[in-house]
Structure formats: C-alpha cells, structure tokens
Amino acid sequence: MTDPVAILGGTGPEGRGLALRFARGGVPVVIGSRDAARAAEVAGALAPGDGLPLSGAVNADAARQAEIVLVAVPWEGHERTLRDLAEPLAGKLVVDIVNPLEFDDRGPVTLRVPEGSAAEQAAALLPGSTVLAGFHHVSAKHLLDESHAVDTDVLVCGDDRAAKDRVLALAERIAGVRGIDAGPLRNAHILEDWTAALLSINRGYRCNAGVRLTDLDPARRRP
Amino acid sequence: MTDPVAILGGTGPEGRGLALRFARGGVPVVIGSRDAARAAEVAGALAPGDGLPLSGAVNADAARQAEIVLVAVPWEGHERTLRDLAEPLAGKLVVDIVNPLEFDDRGPVTLRVPEGSAAEQAAALLPGSTVLAGFHHVSAKHLLDESHAVDTDVLVCGDDRAAKDRVLALAERIAGVRGIDAGPLRNAHILEDWTAALLSINRGYRCNAGVRLTDLDPARRRP
C-alpha cells in the first residue's frame, strides 16, 4: 500500500492534474482546499467511475493525512496559507511547487522573494517540516489531458537526501516523468524562475513545453 | 559567404568550443582575447590542418571584424571588458553568454547583478549595440569533444526580433542544436541562473547535461 500524498490548494489546474496522474500511478491523493466541500467535489469529478484513490479535505486535514504534502496554492496565498498550517505540517515532507510570478503585457515576470524563493519562505514558516521544491514545470494542461503523454523531467531540490529520494520516487509514479535531483534548496529560486522562461516560450510557440535534460544517466548519481 | 562571428574572451573552454563548432558549420570565427598572440595561437590549435575559418585578434579588433559578437569573458572581467569596447561594439549584435556565478563547497551560487543580469549590464554599458543573451547552457566539454554529438537547445532572449532571428540561425549552424526564442531580454537572468542548476545537476550525476524542450514545435512560433 502506497502512502497517501496531500496537495494543498489542490483544486487548481496544477493540483488537479498532479492528483489525477498520481492516482493513476497508484498513489492515494488527498486534495486540500480552504473549502472541504469544494475539495471533495473536485476529487470526485476528476475521473468519476474509475475508482481512483482520490479524496478531498480542508487543507489542515489533508496535511494530517499524508507524510508528503505538496503546496500548490497561488503565490498570493502562499505565506498566509503556510503560516496557518505550521502545526499540521510539522514532521512532514513539504514540497513547494509554487512559482512567484506575475504577468504584464510582455508576459511573465519573476518576483523577488525576500527569503530567496517561495520554497525558502516555506522553510522559514515551517521550522518543524522538511521543505523541498519541485514539480514547477509540469504542464497542468498535459497532466489533465490523459490523451497526451507526459514527457518531462521533474527537478527537485532540497537539503535532505532521504527526503529528496522519496520525492523523486513520487515524481516517477507519473508515467513519462523522470525525477532529477537539482541540488540544495538554495537552488529553488532557479527552478521557480525557470517557469517564467517556459511560460515566455509557451507564449512564443503556442505550446506547453516540458524540459528534458540530455546527456544525463540517472544511474551515475552520486551516492 | 557567411558573415564572420567574433567571440570575445574566446580563448576559454566555452569560447573555443563554440568557435570550433561554428567553424565546422561553415561560420568564420574571429577569436578575441586581451592578447592578440594568444588568440591567434588558440585559433591555430583548435583543428590544425583542417582549414577551418578560424582566426585570432585582440578583442577590439575581433569586434570590428564581425556583425555578431559573442561575449564569453569570465564574469569577473565582464563589466571592465565591455566598458572598454563600447566603441568597437557600436552597431553590432552582442550576444552575452556570461553566467554570473561563484562556487562554494556546496556547488554553484547565483550572483545578483544590479542591472538584473549580465546581459542587462551589457545593454547598459553598450547603448549603441543590440544586446541579446544566449548559449549559456552548452557544455564546453561536449563542444570541444568532436566524438560527442551536441544534443541541446540553445535559448536566446532579446528585445529585437530580427536580431534574435539571426542569432537563432547562428545557433543552428552547430550540428545538434535547436535555437529557441526565450522571450525578452529581461528573461536573461533566468537563463544565466539556470546554468547554476545545471552545474549542480552535473555535479550530482557526474555529467555535462544539456536541455531539450519537449512538446515544442518550432513551426508554431508566433510571427
């Protein structure tokens, strides 16, 4: 039996897409939301009749039900949401997937976060949790469109090797994903900002691009 | 006859690697250096006897001989070098490939540049030039090892579409490279910082990774 995963703010497109693909990979997912009824409704509507292990709960209860908790809230609600959840998130692996971005008429703009990145802000707010960053670059559109194969690497950074290994293994439960260790948590701002480059490229090429690293053999990862 | 390209600071590994591959693709390259003799020596040693269109010159003369000029100096010398070359670089397309990085015992660290990025620093120093950024992620080792196929996209950002098109076409003179428009020059810091993530990954996986964007059809680029 695979441990469940919670996705806070999981009713948005990215959260729903990840929930669907994790569940297809056999990972039970608790979709979290500020509104328990909305979470349950989204969970029930993702693949009705397929018997997938999807449920919904208010964010704090979702956090309590899982050891790995993804944070997929909008950047605007990031700080407030995590400040309120420090207690239920204590002792958990928290994977921040949030991109601190805004948009103007020329496209996406990266925002400077005083702590260095959204993930480092999370680490500051959640002293009892192990915080990692990852899953920033997976197209919600492709995750939600099951006629489309996912074709991307998922980069994960963090300072705890064992925690990172668990998150990389989780990423690979999504068919088509390769999990890649992208170094320490201080690299999180690079992964977050890269999303803005991808969104610029998506705008320029009318696509939803993913990322693959070439000339990389996962078997050569340092122990 | 293809227009020549100059590479300032072209005697380093990245500059030599690009020079070799451009020349193999039929692009004449003038390698620039602070030391004209050193530049000529490097140009002569890259593929001796192959008759490649490689030459060397002091940086200012290299800049005068080309319409497209790549800046491949170490970050430490970036500001000083460009300040001294504003006149020979006026009217040119200047492609900044410099990564503002340093290293500590945990690997690469991105540096904050007051202008936003190395490329935007170049733009501030070179008001008479059209400045773009690109070629940050191409492994020098792979460029210099001709037994190894280059397998990467080259991302280029800039605010002048016609200039960007010329640089993308130049990138594709390297066999195995696909040139991708990565948006406006304000995205340069993202491309520069991404190098630090790649170097972290290279360290973790003992490799020299490249980047390919997936689910992107170049024919769908917006006009």
Q: What is the pLDDT along chain B (223 residues), one digit of tens a residue?
A: 689 999 999 999 999 999 999 999 999 999 999 999 999 999 999 999 999 999 999 999 999 999 999 999 999 999 999 999 999 999 999 999 999 999 999 999 999 999 999 999 999 999 999 999 999 999 999 999 999 999 999 999 999 999 999 999 999 999 999 999 999 999 999 999 999 999 999 999 999 999 999 999 999 999 9
Task: Please judge whether A221 and B205 are an interchain contact, meaning their C-beta atoms are less than 8 angstroms apart.
Answer: yes
Give the separation between CA A95 and CA A135, rounded to whole angstroms: 8
Contacts of B213 in chain A (CB under 8 A): 198, 201, 209-212
Cα A32 off chain centre by: 13
Element (H, E) at B167: helix B161-171
Cβ neighbours around A55 below 10 Å, total: 19
Q: Are B16 and B140 in contact (CB under 8 A)?
A: yes
Compare all CA atoms of chain A with the CA of B206 and give the residue at the minimum distance.
Answer: A220
Cα B192 off chain centre by: 11
Task: Please judge whether A184 and B107 are an interchain contact, meaning their C-beta atoms are less than 8 angstroms apart.
Answer: yes
**Entry pTM:** 0.97
- B221 conformational bin, left if phi > 0, alpha if psi -120 to 50, beta if neither: beta
Cβ neighbours around A221 below 10 Å, total: 16
| Of residues B109, B184, B210, nearest to A214 (C-beta) | B210
Q: How far is B209 from chain A (nearest CA, A)?
A: 5
| Of residues A191, A201, A211, nearest to B182 (C-beta) | A201
Q: Are B132 and B95 in contact (CB under 8 A)?
A: yes
Cβ neighbours around A35 below 10 Å, total: 13
Signed CA dihedral, A210, B160, B74, B148: sign only = positive
Amino acid identity of residue A216, one-letter, is: L
Contacts of A99 in chain B (CB under 8 A): none
Residue B165 CB contacts under 8 Å (≥ 6 apart), including other chains: none
DSSP-derived letter for residue B207 is S
Give the separation between CA B159 and CA B58, rounded to whole angstroms: 29
Q: How many helices (H) and strands (E) does chain A have?
A: 9, 11
| Of residues A155, A190, A218, nearest to B193 (C-beta) | A190
| Of residues B151, B194, B214, nearest to A152 (C-beta) | B214
Per-residue pLDDT of A89-142, as tens digits, reads 999 999 999 999 999 999 999 999 999 999 999 999 999 999 999 999 999 999
Signed CA dihedral, B202, B205, B207, B209: sign only = negative
Give the separation between CA A22 and CA A29, rounded to whole angstroms: 7
Q: Are B205 and A222 in contact (CB under 8 A)?
A: yes
Q: Are B47 and B54 in contact (CB under 8 A)?
A: yes
Task: Please judge whether B209 and A209 are an interchain contact, meaning their C-beta atoms are less than 8 angstroms apart.
Answer: no
Q: By C-alpha distance, which of B221, B5, B183, B181 is closest to B93?
A: B5
Mutation site for A-interface testing, chosen from B185, B192, B213, B217 by largest number of A Cβ within 10 Å: B213
Compare all CA atoms of chain B with the CA of A106 and give the residue at the minimum distance.
Answer: B184
Give the separation between CA A140 and CA A207, rounded to whole angstroms: 12
